[in-house]
Amino acid sequence: MASGMKPLKLVLRGPRPAAAATVAPAAAAAVSAAAPDWVASSWPVLRSFLEAVFSFGVRASGHSFEELYRTIEDAVAARHGRQLYELLRGSMRDNTSAAVQHLLGAGGSQDTAAFLGNVAATWAAHCTQLVVIRNVFLSLDRTYARDAPGAPSI
């Protein structure tokens, strides 16, 4: 140690509390002003994406992933997380019901092995769809679904 220098003292303390996400006042005002038109303007974009995923044409939705992420983040920032979550849940329930109905309708005309092959293919497709949807709706899952009582993760 050089002369005249004092040793440094390292003090460790407990972890810092996580900082709360904040929105700048001007941004919050802009988001709030757009809030009443959210369902009319943003949900059709997300619904077309979901329909494209359900029909295996993710790129056919005509929207970039960045645009989809931003739309979801804006909806959550404008306190539309619950509404978006319910709309997403309803779309997923409708798609799952349609897939099950399709399997049940085709099941009577197939032998057991062919039917189980269709079930396996439908399940694999469903899992792929869920991965894509969860990746796009990740901000909704990490903000709304995590904090909402009784709302399962996407």
CB distance 144 to 81 below 8 Å: yes
Residue pLDDT, tens place only, 71-97: 999 888 888 888 999 999 999 999 999
CB 68 within 8 A of CB 49: yes
CA pair distance 9, 130, nearest whole angstrom: 51
**For the segment 98-114, what is each residue's pLDDT rounded down to a tens digit?**
999 988 887 667 788 88
Structural domain count of the chain = 1
Residue 10 included in any domain: no
| 75 falls within a domain | yes
User: Is residue 9 assigned to a domain?
Assistant: no
CATH number at residue 76: 1.20.1310.10
Query: Domain containing 96: what range?
Result: 39-147
Per the domain annotation, does 27 fall within a domain? no
In a domain, 154, yes or no: no
Is residue 86 assigned to a domain? yes
Q: Is residue 153 domain-resident? A: no
Domain-embedded: residue 59: yes
Model pTM? 0.69
| Per-chain mean pLDDT for the chain | 77
